[in-house]
Amino acid sequence: MTLPLDYLPESPSQTAGPYVHIGTNPNWVEIAGVWRDDLGLVLVGPRTRGERILIEGQVSDGAGAPVRDALIEIWQADAAGLYPSPAETRGPADPHFTGWGRQPLSPEDGTYRFETVRPGAVPYPDGRMQAPHVTVWIVARGINIGLHTRLYFSDEREANAVDPLLNRIPEPDRRATLIAERGSRDGLPVFRFDIRLQGERETVFLDM
């Protein structure tokens, strides 16, 4: 017998599980022939404008153990602060920059690494300028809804100090979880951004 619509039971929640990589990164799980290269592995090319940087880090769980089967994506503006999107109305973005990257975490130690460019500043919905940042999205087994956070740059202190979103986080130690620390390797700036899913020093996640 068909139940009235207002009595239909809720469907059980589904997590990303260990199978997300089959659909998003088939070559990574050694399924060949779907497409030549997994999407999102390369953000920049020889003609991409802006300062080249590396973003890398590790994702860990509440006990501090590496998360080895998650998937991480980044989204960002180009060096001029423009998004490569049909919704961008402020001008043409760099056609040689994707603005988006995706990769599975290393199964050995839960690490990731993206080569990209330092993003330019973009406006907040109310018109105030935001500090340069990268949006980060994480899915993994046990996570019902993908987690969003932001990466800000430690060498953008003045811009970070007046960023509208960062200033909505009152606790300095919580804001610090969104700041990637700068280092260098072979003359290239390297920004370390570790993500803690739970527990002590848990990364701030955003409802967006």
pTM: 0.87
Model confidence pLDDT, tens digit, residues 46-88: 999 999 999 999 999 989 999 988 899 999 999 999 999 888 9
| 5 three-state secondary structure | helix
- How many CB atoms neighbour CB 1 within 10 A? 2
- Identify the top-confidence range among 40-44, 47-51, 138-142, 199-203: 47-51
Whether the Cβ atoms of residue 160 and residue 23 lie closer than 8 Å to each other: no
Query: Which pLDDT value is given to residue 1?
Result: 45
Q: Which structural domains are found in the chain, ordered by start? A: 27-196 (2.60.130.10)
Rounded to 10 degrees, what is the CA torsion of 182, 135, 119, 121?
A: -110
18 DSSP 8-state letter: T
Whether the Cβ atoms of residue 104 and residue 71 lie closer than 8 Å to each other: yes
